[in-house]
Amino acid sequence: MAESAREKGQRLIKDVCGFEIPPGMSRFADLTVDHLFGEVWSNETLSIRDRRLVVLGMLGAMGDGDNLNIHMSQALSRGDLTAEELDEVVIQITHYAGWPRGTVALGAASRATQAAQAAKAAQAANDLEKQSKKED
């Protein structure tokens, strides 16, 4: 049975943005899930990574640090981009959108990279603790 736009949208918003939107929150939220994620992000003409790069450029040009942080964090978490590639995105944004917006992007990239490093360190510590308990 094929996934509905709602099901695709729910799956993709969790994957792309790292959070869920409960059904019936508002018409705007429903359109975000059903159309933006269920139809646009799910279209396979562009990969998630390619769509992410477009969105990062747009958010950077607008100076939208909050949404940049969400998309940059998930880009690192999903493996869409490396920290080095994210730095290059910031440089590209800065040269086309200007230094003030580039500094917003840089701040978001720094927060996303620090969060990814902390998560990786926590996972490594957890894995080490599990291994230590197995050896006891």
> What are the C-alpha distances in Å from 131 to residues 125, 126, 136?
10, 9, 9
- In three-state form (DSSP H/G/I as H, E/B as E, the rest C), the secondary structure along 17-55 is HCCCCCCCCCHHHHHHHHHHHHHHHCCCCCCHHHHHHHH
Calculated CA dihedral for residues 33, 62, 94, 81, nearest 10 degrees: -10
Query: Is 72 within 8 Å of 85 (Cβ atoms)?
Result: no
One digit per residue, pLDDT tens: the chain, 136 residues? 888 889 999 999 999 999 999 888 999 999 999 999 999 999 999 999 999 999 999 999 999 999 999 999 999 999 999 999 999 999 999 999 999 999 999 999 999 999 999 999 999 888 888 888 887 7
> So what's the pLDDT on residue 133?
82
